[in-house]
Amino acid sequence: MFGSSLRTALGSRESSASPPVSDPTFANVVFLVSNGDGSEGGTDMVDKSTTPHTLTYRSNAQMDTGVPLFDNPTILLDGVNDAVTTPDHNDFALLEQDFTIQAWVYPTDIAGGTRSIISHYRGFGDDREWIFQVSTSGFPSMLASPNGQTFNTFTSTIALIQNSWNFAVAQRENDIWTLWVNGFRGLDPVTNDFTVHNGAGPMCLIGGRQGSSDQNDIQNEWKGNIGPLRLTVGEAVYPGNPTAIGVPSTPFPEA
C-alpha cells in the first residue's frame, strides 16, 4: 500500500492558546468526517453530523493507517483524480451565515499545484460557490463567490508544513473573515459583507473541486492525507477572532 511510505507525524500540535470554551452547538455541525475503523484501504470514514451525507470514494481515495491521527486512520489521496464526494445539499450553502471550517491536513506535495481541502464548487454555469484550498506556496485561502463566477479571496500569511499534520481553519463571523494555521491567526480579520452564492447542484468534495459539468472532472486534487474535517454553519466556533486558538488534541465530538 503506497500510504505506508508516507511519514507518520505527531497526532497534534499545541499552540500557546487555551482551547475554545466549548464546541459548537452540534445541531449546527452540518458535515463531520471523522474516525474510520482502522481498515487499511477501506472506505469507511463517514459523515457523523446530525444529518449524515453519503460519501463516495473516487479513484484511489481510501483509508490509510500509515499516517494516522489520534490513533485513527485518515483519508489518503494520491493527487490524481482522487476525492471523496457527496451530492449537493442546502447544508453546504453558506449564504450570509456565520461558519467555521476546521480541517486536519497532511500535504506531501505543496509545490505541485493548488490543492483543494474542501469545496462546494462546479466550474460550469453559475455554480462556483466556495473553496478552502492551499496555494503552491503552502498558504491556505478561503474563496467565496458572490455571483457564481468570481471570487472574494481571503489568504493566510502562515503556510502549511509539508509532510506534517496541520490544523487549518477558515471562519466568517458577522461578515468578518479570518484564517488560522496550527493555532495561530494567519489572516487578520477582514470585513466583507456579501452573500455567498448558492448554485444549482455542485457536489461537495473533500480533496478537490469539480471542474465542469462532468462529475468525474476532479481538479486541484489533494496529495497526501486529510484527517477529521468539520463544517459548522450558523455559528462561529471561535467568537471574537482571537489571535491564537487551541489546537485539538482529541477527535471532534460526535454529539
Contact 74, 225 (CB under 8 A): yes
User: Mean pLDDT across the stretch 48-54?
Assistant: 93
Q: Is the pLDDT assigned to residue 18 strictly greater than 90?
A: no
Give, in order, the Cα–Cα distances in Å from 242 to each of 143, 191, 237.
21, 15, 11
Residue 215 confidence (pLDDT): 87
User: What distance in Å separates the CA atoms of residue 203 and residue 205, rounded to the nearest whole number?
Assistant: 6
Contact 213, 5 (CB under 8 A): no
**Any idea of the CA torsion for 207, 32, 54, 30, to the nearest 10 degrees?**
-110
Q: Is the pLDDT assigned to residue 13 strictly greater than 70?
A: no
- Strand, helix or coil for residue 194: coil
Contact 124, 116 (CB under 8 A): no
**Which structural domains are found in the chain, ordered by start?**
2-233 (2.60.120.200)
% of the chain at pLDDT higher than 90: 75
What is the band of 22 on the pLDDT scale with cuts at 50, 70, 90?
A: low
In our burial notation (b when 16+ CB lie closer than 10 A, e otherwise), range 189-198 reads beeeeeebbb
User: Mean pLDDT across the stretch 89-96?
Assistant: 95
User: What distance in Å separates the CA atoms of residue 91 and residue 61, rounded to the nearest whole number?
Assistant: 24
pLDDT, the chain, mean: 89
